A and B are shown apart, each in its own frame.
Chain A
């Protein structure tokens, strides 16, 4: 039980993610989470205003079910498998984040971004909204997210996926070193 409640190691997580990808391949599908965003738009009837969402989204139901499972997985972890201990990030990161006014972790997520006070402030709300907007826009523009490109695409040695992952880091580094210090 002690082992389950502790944070799990990177290698176990990596093995499990690869296993999930192979199980999806074995079941005749592929691992790509952000496709769900397009599917949700299609299911909402947005195919009437944009052709991109006019497709047989019901064939993607399996992925929506996977999404529901992922929500349940988060819930199960919180209820039964977690101590909600602070995330054990490196001392260097704690130092860097403190310069931005973000305190050392006390749980899984920073209250400075996801706490009620932050969400109810205009700035806090806009940060979450813009973050989501860019993830949704960018993943579809690039044709995939971390699962579709960094895991599935790189496993298949696809050059487009390598370019996309380079893009992920260009954007990520710009945000981390250029924009976050301006924002916070």
Chain B
């Protein structure tokens, strides 16, 4: 039962992402061509509210529903891993028109071809795990 809330949040995520067309390859192309405000509006609104909310959580030391303080772990300092890894991610994002979340939403919507993309995303993750120690971080 404790997982029901995560299932519901996932359902809301899937519906919202589809209904706002953020799972569409066309919308990602439009974003990378800077030809509409749509995707920037979605991400910008989420981040603006996110910054305000996270600041409030920290300011008032809010707790989660278990009663534990809500913590934000600083990501390790580096430039290369974020810039190189991010760029590889961006190449894939613009080609397939989907990041990992929208991939599975698309599968649910009935675009079975996205299952190929998602399967190879798992393969890509495995590949990273195999050669991670040889990469600059």
Contact = CB atoms under 8 A, between A and B. Distances in A.
A29 to B, nearest CB: 8
A165 B43 CA distance: 12
A128 B96 contact: yes
B68 to A, nearest CB: 6
A176 B94 contact: yes
B126 A110 contact: no
B57 A134 contact: no
Given A135-B93, A179-B95, A37 B125 contact: yes
A170 B83 contact: yes
Given A92-B35, A93-B30, A164-B86, A133 B121 contact: yes
Contact of A73 (B92, B98, B105, B118): B105
Contacts of B60: none
A164 B85 contact: yes
Q: Is the interface of A mostly helix, strand, loop or mixed?
A: helix
Given A41-B122, A90-B35, A160-B78, A135 B96 contact: yes
A151 B49 CA distance: 10
Contacts of A8: 16, 19-20
A115 to B, nearest CB: 8
Contacts of B86: 138, 142, 149, 163-168, 170-171
Interface in B77-92: 77-79, 81-92
Nearest to A47: B129
A17 B16 contact: yes
A28 B67 CA distance: 9
Interface of A: 7-18, 20-29, 33-34, 36-38, 40-41, 46, 49-53, 61-63, 65-78, 81-82, 87-90, 92-93, 96-97, 105, 108-110, 113-115, 118-119, 125, 127-147, 149-161, 163-176, 179-180
12 contacts: A16-B16, A26-B64, A37-B124, A70-B10, A77-B18, A77-B19, A109-B97, A146-B43, A151-B43, A158-B74, A158-B75, A172-B91
